[in-house]
Structure 1
Amino acid sequence: MYLSGLDLNLVLSLRALLEERNVTRAGQRIGLSQPATSAALARLRRHFDDELLSRVGGQYELTALGQALLDRTATACDLLERVFSSRAEFSAGSEEHEFTLLASDYAVAVFGAELARTVHAEAPRVRLRFQRHPTDVMEDTATLLSTVDGLLLPHGIISGFPAVELFTDRWAFLVAETNDEVGDRLTMGDLARLPWVTYQRTYDAPAARQLSMLGIEPRVEVSVDSFQVLPFMVADTRRIALVQRRLAERLAGVAAVRVLEPPYEAVPLQAALWWHPVHTHDAAHIWLRETAARVGAELSTSTPGHLATAAEGD
């Protein structure tokens, strides 16, 4: 089936019908009369050879195919909207625009705040919208990227999409100030023995996967969806947590924890901005990527500090 043989207006009708599950409301949503919407539904049924909407009692319910098409159609509409909103030129100083970026709270705190300051100074009518990326980001990355302007994520989690490098970071461990089981330095034995608090799924981060290669299987006691709550989950407990150095520096003093060097050569973190290829030649998106790269380069000039140990302080 070729696109040239399709009426792409039917995509809008399909989305409205599947989401509203009512011919009249679907027509009102997209500005069609009830007869025109019914005709569109008939064409869609012939195309898919499926009822899509089947009447059960006094209402419509989606067929199995209709349910499968529900999310795909929404994604297709979002992608078409982005394709046809692309522009050949973009004047950052005067144009109004909104960019949606998926990111963890770490990426927003460390990089997003700097990006927002730069955007405000150079493009006062441009808005940034940061949203938390889902835990299943690796499972259908193409669909996810097709609905937003970009994804802030380190290398080692996804691949196969264009990306621009932003900044590097190192890793540190959080230990409660009251945890007298740990001295001035962590040991590999400490990592194996003590309970952990982790961010979402333990092995999403390459640094955490590295531990498995070293023979350490973290004993996860608590899992959270925010890097910034890790210190509070560590304070006054036996737990330890692996956290990015730049974030640890920003969170210094918010909870009664110590920040210690890893007892192994932890692989560094290389943050990047990933995007769907549909954005590659869009002028507004090119400006966003260039601005993000510049902010990332400036951030990289401030290397996260080396943590002082008791021996170094003597």
Structure 2
Amino acid sequence: MELPSLDLNLVVVLHALLQERNVTRAGERVGLSQPGASAALARLRRHFDDPLLERVGTIYELTPLAQALRSQVAETVANLQLVLSARPGFDPKRAEREFTIQCSDSVLYLLGPALVRAVTAAAPAVTLDLQPVDPRFLFDPPAAVRDVDVLILPRGLFTSTTEIDGADLYEDRWVCVTSQGNHAVGNTLTKAEVAAARWVVSFRRPPLTSPIDAALAALGIDRRSTVKIQSLTMLHRMVAGTDLLVLAHEMVVGDLTAQGLRRVELPVVLPSIREAAWSHPSHRLDPGHRWLLAMIRQASLEVRRPSTSPSPDALATVPPAY
């Protein structure tokens, strides 16, 4: 079989162009300057005898041919990565490699220390690059996991596909917390009190709204936010000495009494948070990646949830959310 004459590097550029629909951003994605990306686009146009990208007003749109190529090229690049990333073996004691893991600050707080201890002990020359989650997972899950080794997100927040599935790590759950000195509410809230209270919330930029608020809204409960922060590990610390309430991760909160806090039961049972490790299928033949996943799963065994149970007075169950 004879393949058409085309530099494989141009296939990678084509994939970026079809995804980004912008020459500059596509170049940045594959490490090309703007002139280099423009030159690559010109070669691709000559090869396909099609403009591929056409200016419509102030933006570029894909031509019909480019639209038809988009999914095929994405699948081709994924298969190429799968084939070309194959390695005969992985020796952690000798490996000099960097692994990129993206996760929330709560996962980093709970899982990070155990993972760092395990990896640095087993693989002294391996580097861990621990990053915040790329918001691309909202719009293009395959792209979000393609450029990292592992993306750790809870089930229900990350949309799995046939090709991409997650390895379960640990479960946490939401708890409602307030200051011990807050006498405005008792130990159990009614729906009316949930709506009337002032809350600290984990702020997420549009289009990602709080799934917990979406679930509460389905039951006719709307929280009134007074403080918004982009941190899951700092949520509960904001309510000390105030009359505010917060929904926080139970294992992150830790010992309430020592922090001058107390737990308040909600009129609904919130779903558990099931953290999972997601990775792109192009990593499947990489023994180094399989080793990393094994280390993450092993470290997750050290994450243990407190043995408290939900209130028996719960009146309803909210659909799964994060």
Give the TM-score, by structure 2 length.
Answer: 0.71
- Residue number in structure 1 paired with 2:250: 245
- Residue number in structure 1 paired with 2:268: 264
Shift of 1:275: 1.1
- Residue number in structure 2 paired with 1:5: 4
- Residue number in structure 2 paired with 1:184: 187
Contact 1:170 1:304 in 2 (8 A): no
Counterpart AA for 2:122: E
Structure 1: give runs of 5+ residues left out of the alignment. Answer: 31-36, 55-60, 310-314
- Residue number in structure 2 paired with 1:217: 222
Q: For residues 140 and 53 of structure 1, do their structure 2 counterparts lie closer, same or farther at Cα, with a shift above 3 Å needed?
A: closer
Alpha-carbon separation, structure 2, partners of 1:87 and 1:197: 48
- Residue number in structure 2 paired with 1:281: 285
Q: Which moved more, 1:284-293 or 1:81-90?
A: 81-90
Q: For residues 51 and 287 of structure 1, do their structure 2 counterparts lie closer, same or farther at Cα, with a shift above 3 Å needed?
A: closer
Give the aligned CA root-mean-square deviation in angstroms. Answer: 4.1
Counterpart AA for 2:128: L
Alpha-carbon separation, structure 1, partners of 2:79 and 2:147: 6
Contact 1:154 1:271 in 2 (8 A): yes
Which of 295, 306, 309 pairs up with 1:291?
295
Query: What is the number of equivalent residue pairs in this alignment?
Result: 284
Counterpart AA for 1:49: D
Contact 1:13 1:26 in 2 (8 A): no
Shift of 1:49: 2.5
Q: Which moved more, 1:172-181 or 1:90-99?
A: 172-181
Alpha-carbon separation, structure 2, partners of 1:147 and 1:82: 13
Alpha-carbon separation, structure 1, partners of 2:36 and 2:127: 27
Shift of 1:185: 3.6
Which of 196, 202, 216 pairs up with 2:199?
196
Q: For residues 79 and 143 of structure 1, do their structure 2 counterparts lie closer, same or farther at Cα, with a shift above 3 Å needed?
A: farther
Q: Within 5 Å, give how 1:149-188 maps onto structure 2.
A: 149-157=149-157, 158-160=159-161, 161-188=164-191
- Residue number in structure 1 paired with 2:126: 126
Contact 1:18 1:62 in 2 (8 A): no
Q: For residues 218 and 27 of structure 1, do their structure 2 counterparts lie closer, same or farther at Cα, with a shift above 3 Å needed?
A: closer
Counterpart AA for 1:279: H
Shift of 1:264: 2.9
Contact 2:103 2:130 in 1 (8 A): yes
Counterpart AA for 2:97: H
Contact 1:96 1:125 in 2 (8 A): yes
- Residue number in structure 2 paired with 1:50: 51
Q: For residues 110 and 261 of structure 1, do their structure 2 counterparts lie closer, same or farther at Cα, with a shift above 3 Å needed?
A: farther
Shift of 1:104: 0.7
Contact 2:160 2:166 in 1 (8 A): no
Q: Which moved more, 1:264-273 or 1:139-148?
A: 264-273
Alpha-carbon separation, structure 2, partners of 1:83 and 1:131: 27
Q: For residues 183 and 63 of structure 1, do their structure 2 counterparts lie closer, same or farther at Cα, with a shift above 3 Å needed?
A: closer
Contact 2:174 2:248 in 1 (8 A): yes
- Residue number in structure 2 paired with 1:142: 142
Counterpart AA for 1:169: D
Shift of 1:91: 1.2
- Greater fraction of residues in helix: 1
- Aligned-residue sequence identity (percent) comes to 31
Q: For residues 26 and 307 of structure 1, do their structure 2 counterparts lie closer, same or farther at Cα, with a shift above 3 Å needed?
A: closer
- Residue number in structure 1 paired with 2:88: 88
SS in 2 for 1:96: coil
Q: For residues 113 and 63 of structure 1, do their structure 2 counterparts lie closer, same or farther at Cα, with a shift above 3 Å needed?
A: same
Alpha-carbon separation, structure 1, partners of 2:92 and 2:305: 30
Asked whether 1:112 is paired with 2:119, we answer: no
SS in 1 for 2:220: coil
Asked whether 1:233 is paired with 2:238, we answer: yes
- Residue number in structure 1 paired with 2:308: 306
Once the two structures are superposed, residues 214-235 of structure 1 have per-residue CA deviations (whole angstroms, 9 ceiling, x without a partner) of: 3322223333221122134333
Once the two structures are superposed, residues 97-143 of structure 1 have per-residue CA deviations (whole angstroms, 9 ceiling, x without a partner) of: 21111111001101122211111122222222121114452221111
- Residue number in structure 1 paired with 2:320: none
